[in-house]
Amino acid sequence: MLEDTIIAISTPPGFGGLGIVRISGKRALAVAERVFESKERIKKPFPVRRPVFGTIRDPEGGPGIDEAFLTYFKAPRSYTREDVVELSAHGSPAVLEGVLRLGTRAGARLAGPGEFTLRAYLNGRLDMLQAQAVDDLIRSVSLTQARISSRQLGGSLSRRMRRLRDRLVGLLARIEAGLEFPEEGLRTSAAADRKSLSALAAEVERLVASFEAGRAISEGVTLAITGRTNVGKSTLFNALLEEDRAIVTPFPGTTRDFLREKLIIDDVVFHLVDMAGLGRAAHPVERTGIVRGQRIAREADGLLIILDASRKADPADERLLRRFASKKAVVVLNKTDLPRRIDARTVRRLAGPAPVVEISALAGTNIDALRASIRSLFAPAAENDGEIILHARQRDCLGGVMECLRKAERLLAGRHSGEVYAEEVRAALRFIGEMTGEVRVDEVLADIFGRFCVGK
């Protein structure tokens, strides 16, 4: 119900220099006036979009709580399109909880999770893509992600989708007109329809493809360190993280379970996974570790495949490289501080197209070069004008659009009647609707707004 006024603490829990309480709704101003006393000479109501200095006080005469700034955003020019008041006080949980208590006593209701954004959506301030972008922006772990999210919050993706939608609607309108008005001579040429279809499909395909980069940005790249036992995987893990995270011993088979840590290289997030080496297991626990490691390696976005430069190449190395030949990988030649026994030509042959970096994890030699190599191989292409899809759900919708358009092309080529390929174009439009939120009751909405409470 949008009749009531909601209140919540907007800054993260804990102690901080500042803490903000936000109030939204028809009575936002009235509530604020009850709990806030200005120390400036101003005429009420409060000036719009200009902070006013004053005190938070108990309207029933209790002592003042804290000094604060009040900023008033007049509807509809506010985040929720309702009257919004922000009270910026000191960031002590006690102070902020106190403000909440006063606010609810003055007639506001505690907001549910994500309710400010929900209101922005229901009041038409944000569409679904933008609402998603708000969530992304808040949760962004890298500047790149923040930048993209912020642009999408500004509506870049929404506009792109609207243009796509408009073109699809235009095409469908042409097809439908021919069907609905058979006596008006409006039939479109199949060739023109096909041309429009393939142009649209190609554009959607590019968007779908951008998800690979998008996912790297929003979720990070999972990078598994693999290789035979005792080639120095854990030493490298620690060297890349610059901390003694994994236990390292001179004995093969030390690492049995896997370790997972976040590694940020130039604003790109990697999830670095260290795990048991491949080879004959000495212990059942180690065997389990090996099996698990293989699965992780299979599912990872990329691999660091470690070879030991101080030993001759082994058939096991060859098997390993062959098995993962189709995966993005950097081949790391470790232990270059020891006398070299591996043959350079063999390494080249084994590595194939993968870059080879020579390092010593123990001595810390050439680790920066390895970082650079990882960055350039796995990091998404530099941001360009092209929109980047950050979410699997959005990718799935666009994938659906693409499939429909391709199918429509095939039907047209197979000389099926207009109402049949129109079905596919109509389905494509429904997929776009699912993305931008122009569909009726559905789970997608629930999914997005349900998410706002999870994990925070």
Partner 1 sequence: MPRGTAFDVIVVGAGHAGCEAAAAAAAMGLTTCLVTIHLETIAQMSCNPAIGGLAKGHLVREIDALGGLMGQLADETGIQFRLLNRSRGGAVQAPRAQCDKAAYRLAMKRRLEMMPNLTVFQGIVAEVVVSGGKARGVKTLDGTVLRAKAVVLTPGTFLNGIIHIGLRSYPAGRANEPSSVDLAEQLRKLGLGIIRLKTGTPMRLDRETIDWERFSPQPGDADPVPFSYRTRARLENKVLCYLGYTNPETHAVIRRNLDKSPLYGGRIQGIGPRYCPSIEDKVVKFPQRTRHQFFLEPEGLETTEIYVNGMSSSLPFEVQKEILATIPGLDRAKVLRPAYGIEYDAVSPTGLLPTLETRRIGRLYLAGQINGTSGYEEAAALGLMAGINAALAVRKRDPFLLRRDEAYIGVLIDDLVSTGVEEPYRLFTSRAESRLLLRIDNADRRLMGYGRELGLVPDDAWGEFLDRQKRIDEVVSYLKKNRIKTPAGDRVTRFEYLKKPEIGLKDVLEWGKFPFEPSCEETRTIESETKYEGYIRKQEREIAKAMRTDSMTVPGDLDFREVAGLTREAMERLEKRRPATLGEARKLPGVTPAAVQSLGLHLEIRRKKALLRGPVPRETGRDDE
Name the residues that contact partner 1, by CB under 8 A: 1-3, 7-10, 13, 22, 100, 109-119, 122, 134-135, 138, 176, 179-185, 414-420, 422-423, 426, 440-443, 445-447, 449-450, 452-454, 456
For residue 201, the minimal CB distance to partner 1 (Å) is 20
For residue 226, the minimal CB distance to partner 1 (Å) is 34
Give the helix ranges, DSSP H, for 89-232. 93-105, 115-122, 128-139, 143-153, 156-180, 190-219
Query: 53 or 181: whose CB is closer to partner 1?
Result: 181
Pairing of β 302-308 and β 221-227: parallel
Within 8 A by CB and 6+ apart from 15, the residues are 91, 92, 93
Element spanning 371, H or E:
helix 367-378
For residue 316, the minimal CB distance to partner 1 (Å) is 44
Query: 100 or 357: whose CB is closer to partner 1?
Result: 100
Give the span between the Cα atoms of 319 and 331, in whole angstroms: 14
DSSP track, 372-433: HHHHHHHSPPPP-SS-----HHHHHHHHHHHHHHHHHHHHHHTT--HHHHHHHHHHHHHHHH
For residue 236, the minimal CB distance to partner 1 (Å) is 38
Query: 196 or 334: whose CB is closer to partner 1?
Result: 196
Query: 73 or 449: whose CB is closer to partner 1?
Result: 449
For residue 405, the minimal CB distance to partner 1 (Å) is 16
Give the span between the Cα atoms of 336 and 367, in whole angstroms: 12
Give the span between the Cα atoms of 361 and 367, in whole angstroms: 7
Query: 8 or 225: whose CB is closer to partner 1?
Result: 8
3-state secondary structure of 254: coil
Query: 10 or 365: whose CB is closer to partner 1?
Result: 10
3-state secondary structure of 149: helix
